[in-house]
Amino acid sequence: MKHDATAIHIIERMDSMGMSRHVFVLNILINCLCRLKRSDLGFSVLAKMFKLGLEPNVVTLNALLNGLCEEGKTAQASTLVEEMWGKGFMANVYTYCIITKGLCRSGDTSKAVQFIRNLEERGCELNVVTYKTIIDGYCKEGLVAKAFGFFDCMIHWGIQPDVFTYNSFILGLCRCGQWEEAQVLLSEMLRGGTKPDNRTFSIVLDALCKQGMTDEARCIFDLLIEMDIELNVVTYSSLINGYCLQNQMDDAATIFCLMTARKCNPNVVTYYSTLINGYFGVKRVDKAMSLLREMLEKGLVPNVATYHCLMDGFFLTGNPRVAHQLFYKMLACNHINQRTYAIMLDGLCKYQQIDKAMALFQQMEDGIGNVNIIHCTILTNDMCEAGELGSARNVFNSLDAKGLRPNNMTLGARIKGLCKAGQIREACELLHNMNKKGCSPNDLVYNIII
């Protein structure tokens, strides 16, 4: 349990008593501030160190770098390392890991590789974590081929892959739709004696389920149960979600019962939201509400995602009034975000309650919620579907004034509505004007016209 604020208070008390004039104590203070995402205050403490004539060490540097990276200030962190090198300050392997991880997390894996190459040229000592971070970064960016190139180098350097490395590759391949290659790698992993963990199983089951291969996923799951492997909530939820996506709610309920029987407690995000959404999807409102009551009895508090499932579900099953009540309950509790507004706007329009949708949209513009292109696209599409072309035109034409740029979905919705109403000339003019403004329509938009 983190008690950073408490630690800061204690150090302040020590300072008032003249007891904190030590690098060790000030390093703790800097670390606490950085963990609270206040690296600016951390640098103030660094200035105090210099003022007291104290010499910061590598622990000081690492704490500040970690703080900058956690705040997404990776460029500033990289600059700081370069400055320290220029002053002859020696970093360590943890310093390099912090920078590498920060760059990869911000989607700058190529910069992280360049950083590592510079380290190698300087003869700096690196560890296996640094290389694994690069591989994971490439895989998350979908650059699996580059990750494999780095993997070969890692093997050449005598660094053996572990379960974390294999999981990164398997997830990357699955995300790119290369399930067969993922299977080959999984077999290679097992042959090499690397033991899969819960994350491996979750990745594999999730990939199979998303491809509609729930039978294959169930075979692997049953094998894991037969081997008496202790699975976690994410692994169970992967299969439950797969069944829900296929509307196989009885099978999803079976896994749910097995999960609870094996003493694995479900959580709100990965479990109840999934099942509630699934039951609404097959219009079994009674089961969805029964599950919600059970969740509350267990002391689990619904989060925003759960409320979104409920709102979606009530609109889907013909209960817009209940969805409306939930919306205002969320608004009163300040448990609301952009997706909440999107669900509400879409639901109201689907039930031909255009006036209510426009009233909510106006309230959002007046300050209760920021209007974005998704909200405008929903209104444009649903109004066109309802034959409210004038209202759809007003929303679309207001985008420039709001500083919003139409995307292909917005443009496609508007053109589809015009074509459906037989207003082909206006649709073609709109397409021409969008081209002039630099908004390049894709093939789907052109196909609507054709």
Residue 438 gets the label, from left (phi > 0), alpha (psi -120 to 50) or beta, of: left
User: Does some domain include residue 325?
Assistant: no
Considering the entire predicted model, what is its pTM? 0.68
**In which residue are the tokens 């909510």 written?**
360
Residues sharing a CB contact under 8 Å with residue 122, sequence separation 6 or more, in sequence order = none
User: d(Cα 290, Cα 39) in Å, to the nearest integer?
Assistant: 47
User: d(Cα 418, Cα 401) in Å, to the nearest integer?
Assistant: 22
Closest CA to 80 of 95, 63, 65, 67: 65
Same domain, residue pair 4 and 74: yes
Closest CA to 309 of 295, 210, 368: 295
Task: Work out how many domains the chain is built from and give that number.
Answer: 3
User: Does some domain include residue 319?
Assistant: no
User: d(Cα 322, Cα 351) in Å, to the nearest integer?
Assistant: 13
Closest CA to 66 of 31, 92, 14, 24: 31
Q: What is the pLDDT of residue 121?
A: 80
**291 and 275 in contact (C-beta within 8 Å)?**
yes
Q: What is the pLDDT of residue 9?
A: 60
Same domain, residue pair 128 and 45: no
Q: What is the pLDDT of residue 12?
A: 62
User: Does some domain include residue 344?
Assistant: no
Where among 57, 91, 125 does a domain terminate? 91
- For residue 214, give both structure tokens: 């729930």
The Cα-based distances of 309 to 31, 301, 331 in angstroms read 39, 14, 16
Q: What is the pLDDT of residue 41?
A: 87
The Cα-based distances of 333 to 303, 330, 433 in angstroms read 11, 5, 43
Q: What is the pLDDT of residue 157?
A: 75
**In which residue are the tokens 């079976």 written?**
254
Q: What is the pLDDT of residue 83?
A: 84
* Cα radius of gyration (the chain): 27
Where among 194, 218, 247 does a domain terminate? 194
Q: What is the pLDDT of residue 412?
A: 85
- For residue 259, give both structure tokens: 């999960």
Instruction: Profile the chain (450 residues) by mean pLDDT over runs of 10 residues.
Output: 56 59 83 88 87 88 92 89 80 88 88 85 78 88 87 80 90 87 87 87 89 90 87 91 94 93 84 86 92 88 88 92 91 87 93 90 79 91 87 88 86 85 84 74 70
Same domain, residue pair 65 and 34: yes
Q: What is the pLDDT of residue 239?
A: 93
User: Does some domain include residue 258?
Assistant: no
User: d(Cα 394, Cα 213) in Å, to the nearest integer?
Assistant: 45
Using alpha carbons only, what angle is made at residue 283 by residues 280 and 284, rounded to the nearest 5 degrees?
80
Q: What is the pLDDT of residue 64?
A: 93
How many residues in total does the chain contain?
450
Range of the domain at 162: 111-194
**344 and 360 in contact (C-beta within 8 Å)?**
yes
Domain containing residue 449: CATH number: 1.25.40.10
